[in-house]
């Protein structure tokens, strides 16, 4: 088993997910993590169990627009194992958000495997109560039925990147 060493190296958190789409809850996790880390790398991965809602390029542009004011956030797309990306970017830990107890159980198992394979710890930040119901899945579902989702998206996203049909409020 590998172990992490404390050094004077920058503290780099790797925040991995499909981010399809990136929500206000994701933004909150990253902005709060910047109080703990020197840099946050947002790694957009491919989830083979999900059909993509947005293209990888759209997601990357979206997230970069949210953090255009923050030089300590880096956005990248990747395929493969997250632990390999962590090594590539010099991550000192994994960053994950937890909305509810079900998330905790999943994250605990993932953290154990990641620690065994990479020696890196996982830092969990709890979602703020006002965002605990917001998920990419809910946003996708609302968009599918023509509902306005702008309240669930980061307020700092470039409005030009929000498709017009995401803003339409069709009452059914």
Residue 165 annotated among the catalytic residues of the structure: no
99 included as an active-site residue: yes
Residue of 28, 65, 135, 136 marked active site: 136
- Would residue 87 show up in a list of annotated catalytic residues for this protein? no
What is d(CA 155, CA 151) in angstroms, rounded to the nearest whole number? 8
Long-range contact list for 146-153, CB < 8 A, 24+ apart? 146/170, 146/172, 152/23, 152/24, 153/21, 153/22, 153/23, 153/24
User: Could you tell me how many residues make up the chain?
Assistant: 172
Catalytic residue among 24, 26, 60, 115: 26
Q: Which of 50, 87, 130, 133 is catalytic?
A: 50
Whether 136 is a known active-site residue: answer yes
Residue among 163, 132, 131, 129 at smallest CA distance from 148:
163
The one catalytic residue in 11, 31, 72, 99 is 99
Catalytic residues: 26, 50, 99, 136
């Amino acid at each position: 088993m590998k172990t992490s060493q404390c050094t004077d190296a920058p503290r780099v958190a790797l925040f991995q997910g499909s981010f399809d789409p990136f929500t206000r809850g994701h933004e909150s996790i990253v902005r709060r993590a910047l109080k703990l880390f020197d840099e946050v790398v947002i790694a957009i991965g491919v989830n083979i169990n999900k059909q993509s809602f947005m293209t990888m390029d759209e997601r990357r542009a979206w997230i970069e627009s949210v953090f255009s004011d923050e030089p300590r956030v880096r956005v990248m797309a990747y395929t493969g194992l997250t632990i390999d990306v962590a090594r590539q970017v010099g991550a000192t830990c994994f960053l994950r958000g937890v909305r509810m107890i079900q998330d905790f159980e999943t994250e605990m198992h993932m953290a154990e495997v990641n620690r065994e394979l990479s020696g890196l710890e996982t830092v969990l930040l709890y979602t703020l109560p006002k965002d605990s119901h917001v998920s990419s899945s809910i946003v996708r579902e609302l968009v599918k039925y023509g509902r306005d989702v702008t309240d669930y998206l980061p307020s700092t996203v470039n409005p030009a990147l929000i498709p017009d049909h995401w803003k339409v409020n069709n009452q059914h």
